[in-house]
Copies of this chain bind each other. A is one copy, B any other.
Amino acid sequence: MPQTPYQQLEMEFKRLHALRGAASLLRWDAAVMMPRGSVEQRGEQLAVIETVSHSVLTAPKIARLLERATANANGMNDWQLANLRCMRRELDHAIAIPNALITRMAKATSIAESKWRDAKKANDFALFAPHLEEVLKLTRDRSQILGQALHLDPYDALIDEFSPGLTSAVIDQVFALLSQRLPALIQQAIEKQATETVLPLTAEITVVKQRALSVALMKVMGFPFDQGRLDESDHPFTGGVSGDVRITTRFDVNDVLSGMMGVLHETGHAMYSQGLPVDYRGQPVGNDAGMAIHESQSLLVEMFIGRSRPFACYLQSLLGSTLNVTGAEWDAENIYRALTRVKRSAIRVNADELTYPAHIMLRYELERELLVGNIKVKDLPEVWNVQMQSRLNVTPANDADGCLQDIHWSVGAFGYFPSYAIGAVMAAQLMEHLRNDCPTLDDDIAAGQFTTLFSWLRQYIHSVGNKVNASELIQEITNRPLTAAAWLRYVENKYLE
């Protein structure tokens, strides 16, 4: 039976999805299973698969089919029309950048990442600076070419790669409100917490027990272990593909809560991936709607649910019954206090939920200034420290804990940072509606019953896939555009109650 142009496109994107799924598994394996001696070979395998994927997407055939399918869109349903839009967007991004620039960028970031690791280890920014310079220069070129092709401001074009539809105008508005309110909020929260006692949670819990506990928790939340795994890695992450989602965490025998919060965070990501529309699996419209909304799902589960009083109640009974821990430090209120401690720190990944946006706003400002050339690479350490002092009242002990702490810029991921904070803001806005729709939520969580939560998320967010972009989705669900107001209400209520 002859296939329509649209059907042929579906076949081609299914092939692309299979190749990307293979690459995703190879990256998961590299982080979790692979012996150290195979780094180079794995790099070659991934490079070849990425080249093949790029040529599948940019083959002249695809552009031709897209034109014909768009011209014959009568009778297509909403999903198919949205799929065509998503396909067009992928193609526009892929063909915009000349192959020569892709190759130069791949080479430059591969070297810069490795030099960044050395520089961080040696606390020597000078080692990294020339390589960051090179990556920055190529990223500047990329952003201009991409911006021109997509009719976007260059920096917005970079954001669009990670979070389609998100713009610096929206981010600016959100961050303006946060900048204005956050310093006082942090100060008040710290002062308030100074009057509260937190007993240290000192039990030594073996990795085997923590793993079993995490698996039990994931099962209670509905994570399907016939379609995913839990493993350990240096940095927790979610990999794989919808239908084979693999999360990792890091266990600390002296800190049972840290590994568990990692699991909650990644389970939030994983449930989103698992809940994407199965009927459109392998199609662009069946993907997630970008990094900001993805982060909203992980933060909603970790911060809004996992670090809440109802969840602390559930944890008290869960830890008591499975680990036999007893004593006042394992009371719900003490667990809650331990999980919500606010502390100014120079390190982003150690930051609590209240100080976290300050870290992001710093990076957002600096990466924009770096891109337009208002800040020179050589001045980065100093500018970083000045900003850190003014935003959080701390000065990093050294550059390793300062401007060398993140991998992102070394791999050319400019435009990625905002999604962390925007994700939190999205989560707060969604959470107000979720609470409204589900009045039993807190009682359910305290009872270890997560169906209410995940049914709502699946219905309104996960199952929508990439049919509308994240900003449209927020508007549709909450009847208003993205705003920092809900997040500010949330943290005020939580930290200054």
Residues of A within 8 A of B (CB): 14-15, 18-19, 21-22, 25-26, 29, 33-38, 41-42, 44-45, 47-49, 52, 224-229, 241, 243-244, 282
Contact B29–A41 (Cβ < 8 Å): no
Known: A38-B243, A41-B244, A243-B41. A25 touches B29 (CB 8 A): yes
By a CB distance below 8 angstroms, the chain B residues around A229 are 33, 35
The complex places the Cα of A25 from the Cα of B35 at a distance, in Å, of 12
The complex places the Cα of A49 from the Cα of B26 at a distance, in Å, of 13
The complex places the Cα of A52 from the Cα of B50 at a distance, in Å, of 12
Known: A18-B48, A49-B19. A227 touches B38 (CB 8 A): yes
Contact B241–A41 (Cβ < 8 Å): yes
Contact B18–A244 (Cβ < 8 Å): no
Q: How far is the CB of A430 from chain B (nearest CB, A)?
A: 28
By a CB distance below 8 angstroms, the chain B residues around A226 are 35-37
By a CB distance below 8 angstroms, the chain B residues around A47 are 18
- What residue of chain B has the Cβ atom nearest to residue A14's Cβ? B44
The complex places the Cα of A41 from the Cα of B25 at a distance, in Å, of 12
Q: Indicate which residue in B34, B36, B227 contacts A35 across the interface (CB closer than 8 Å).
A: B227
The complex places the Cα of A19 from the Cα of B22 at a distance, in Å, of 10
The complex places the Cα of A291 from the Cα of B52 at a distance, in Å, of 30
Contact B18–A45 (Cβ < 8 Å): yes
By a CB distance below 8 angstroms, the chain B residues around A241 are 41
The complex places the Cα of A22 from the Cα of B282 at a distance, in Å, of 20
The complex places the Cα of A47 from the Cα of B282 at a distance, in Å, of 15
Closest CB pairs A-B (n = 6): A38-B244, A37-B227, A37-B226, A18-B48, A22-B45, A18-B44
By a CB distance below 8 angstroms, the chain B residues around A41 are 18, 21, 241, 243-244
Known: A29-B25, A29-B29, A41-B241. A48 touches B35 (CB 8 A): no
11 CB contacts below 8 A, A to B, read: A18-B41, A18-B44, A19-B45, A19-B52, A21-B45, A22-B45, A25-B25, A25-B26, A34-B244, A37-B244, A38-B244
- What residue of chain B has the Cβ atom nearest to residue A17's Cβ? B44
By a CB distance below 8 angstroms, the chain B residues around A33 are 33, 229
Q: How far is the CB of A293 from chain B (nearest CB, A)?
A: 23
Known: A14-B44, A41-B243. 15 other contacts (CB 8 A): A19-B49, A21-B41, A21-B44, A22-B26, A22-B45, A25-B26, A25-B29, A33-B229, A37-B224, A37-B243, A38-B227, A38-B244, A41-B241, A49-B49, A52-B52
Q: How far is the CB of A192 from chain B (nearest CB, A)?
A: 45
- What residue of chain B has the Cβ atom nearest to residue A20's Cβ? B45
Q: How far is the CB of A28 from chain B (nearest CB, A)?
A: 9
By a CB distance below 8 angstroms, the chain B residues around A227 are 35, 37-38
The complex places the Cα of A24 from the Cα of B244 at a distance, in Å, of 18
Residue in A19, A21, A38 whose Cβ sees the most chain B Cβ within 10 Å: A38
- What residue of chain B has the Cβ atom nearest to residue A49's Cβ? B22
By a CB distance below 8 angstroms, the chain B residues around A21 are 41, 44-45
By a CB distance below 8 angstroms, the chain B residues around A14 are 44
The complex places the Cα of A44 from the Cα of B244 at a distance, in Å, of 13
The complex places the Cα of A44 from the Cα of B33 at a distance, in Å, of 23
Residue in A45, A47, A225, A228 whose Cβ sees the most chain B Cβ within 10 Å: A45
The complex places the Cα of A360 from the Cα of B168 at a distance, in Å, of 69
By a CB distance below 8 angstroms, the chain B residues around A228 are 35
Known: A25-B26, A26-B25, A29-B29. A48 touches B36 (CB 8 A): no
The complex places the Cα of A19 from the Cα of B42 at a distance, in Å, of 10
- What residue of chain B has the Cβ atom nearest to residue A34's Cβ? B244
Q: How far is the CB of A320 from chain B (nearest CB, A)?
A: 28
By a CB distance below 8 angstroms, the chain B residues around A26 are 22, 25-26
Contact B35–A19 (Cβ < 8 Å): no
Q: How far is the CB of A36 from chain B (nearest CB, A)?
A: 5
By a CB distance below 8 angstroms, the chain B residues around A52 are 19, 52
The complex places the Cα of A21 from the Cα of B47 at a distance, in Å, of 12
The complex places the Cα of A38 from the Cα of B37 at a distance, in Å, of 28
By a CB distance below 8 angstroms, the chain B residues around A37 are 224, 226-227, 243-244
The complex places the Cα of A224 from the Cα of B36 at a distance, in Å, of 11
The complex places the Cα of A226 from the Cα of B33 at a distance, in Å, of 11
The complex places the Cα of A37 from the Cα of B45 at a distance, in Å, of 25
- What residue of chain B has the Cβ atom nearest to residue A225's Cβ? B35
By a CB distance below 8 angstroms, the chain B residues around A44 are 14, 18, 21, 282
Residue in A35, A37, A42, A243 whose Cβ sees the most chain B Cβ within 10 Å: A35
The complex places the Cα of A49 from the Cα of B25 at a distance, in Å, of 13
The complex places the Cα of A225 from the Cα of B42 at a distance, in Å, of 16
- What residue of chain B has the Cβ atom nearest to residue A23's Cβ? B22
The complex places the Cα of A42 from the Cα of B17 at a distance, in Å, of 11
